[in-house]
Structure 1
């Protein structure tokens, strides 16, 4: 049985070398087309493999997927499939890898089967891949936290005293998380100018993106139980790109004393394909040295960071895109394993499909910052775009696209993109 991550594997589907979805990736998502209702799929090259159709043809019949198979593949979200557990995810990914290999004619030699099982991604509508009951946003990039601290507090003491000791986070709004391609309406809210005596209400004037990644919980835990660090990744199904849209002026007025609220909850965007932790295994790297050493329950000995290249493109209406940021997920100070362990350390229970976002991912160089707040340094150095315009914050009609990929041994494992366009505020 071949390792699905083997860099020498080839598919009988013609896949360009620049594709995010080679046979070594096989991310999971949910799609629909006009003549078919929602169903689970796997991305392969320019196609989506219809897992419900594959199951209908009997290719999963010998796998132990429980009595709900094949109906588990005909759902609006991945939640029920994820709830089957890691052995089921791995068995399906392994079988799909076998079916798509260049030397396996089971699908490739049967035109009827191919016609039913393969759909071009350009012809499908991707749905939000999971229904998250809960959403937590962390603040785990030391570069981002330092930059924000320098802008809003004492530059000599940019990090608050607790930052190097615990993964800082807050509970966000799960209902407003939308799939890539969904427009984002500029929020209204209270803003107070620094020189004003009182706040005003109206459209945010400082709309921003935040380049993040999020992991999807793959295993429930019981209320009152904790999850030791060495078992944290057993509860992670995979990762998506994540844009945590932010209204900086609303946020800066409201966040004291309880933290983010209306400045964040108007919308977050996620990419439609979930790349499994198994597919990312070859791209593990050590994280930054943590000083001081974390308390014992957060102390990690293994490599829990991942080498994922990230970029942000900003495209005004009727103009070309400018790549405004390039950075890497490996810069994160607090790893996903540490985030999850800390979340459960008080006995908080996890639920399948929950989303945990990394917080803004910024690197150490000026072109690797993950938000307009940092790139334009609170509006003092606007970012030039290729059409000759500038941006300090986002304007109506702007489209933000985030992309990510890993690359090693000639294999590129990508996440596709998460894209959203800013619409005018309600009542504008």
Structure 2
């Protein structure tokens, strides 16, 4: 970072001024573009949801397009503008931003803002990802289930404004970090995927072993399976803000947190409806299970760890109903037949597979920890580069 320091010393010897985003630009709300309006050709278009799922710090081409006649009626981002998703289900993703550096204009949906400004576009996009921005935006977020931030609130956030040459040097460094991080993550993800395949291989072989004293049994002979209970959406919050909060699981996994646990821990949970239908999770502390999930309580003679790995291996979504809204019926699950080894063999197999599972998935060990460390290192250097001494008042 010595070149950045040298540039600041030469171009801004008195320090870097802080300005509000409203001082150096304007926020223009997107309009009218729906998911159903997206096409494979036409005028470039970005729907706010794609900012969360597809775009990074900057983009020069779009995933989707829209009809040119419709595009003329829509607000469009120009080269250098930021496109900001202003809604999300969690605070961290609110105001995720992408700098548009493509040559053409791009149509932008509602629930997104176009930020037209006088700074280096990628510098601003990197700032939007920084802890400095995140800590300021939190106090302006509103809403419960859907979290949002307004353009007028974003305009109040302070941004350091070094000389343009300094901004471009910071972008150059962060672009290099980003590329290096992406390459390292690709290598680690490939290794992690190889570990997952290895874990799956050992799991399937261990669970299929022809143990002495094994016997065939229906799931309802091994477990008490029952659907969770309805809970009003108004009682679910995005974060565990209360000391009595417990996770709330639905058909798609973790939905948020509530203060009304209806299940004890050390059970298995199966997604019953939604995108993760058939997904298996082990809950080791108190939790709430909605009607879109199935709570699985092992009966006497069944080891919880073996049960978790068994159910995970069964690809339960194949038994879901073939309807517009696929679902797993408890009655269908009850009738499934599996081979059950003795309790001693269950305990031994469960312990072995728990170690494999931790190596692959536990963020405190192995490759996932290395991935997390790389991301943390990148975030540290990004935030350092975007922190300056202020000009004296």
What's the TM-score bracket when you normalise by the shorter of the two chains?
A: under 0.3
More helix by share: 2
More strand per residue: 1
TM-score normalised by L of structure 1: 0.21
What is the TM-score when the length of structure 2 is the normalising length? 0.22
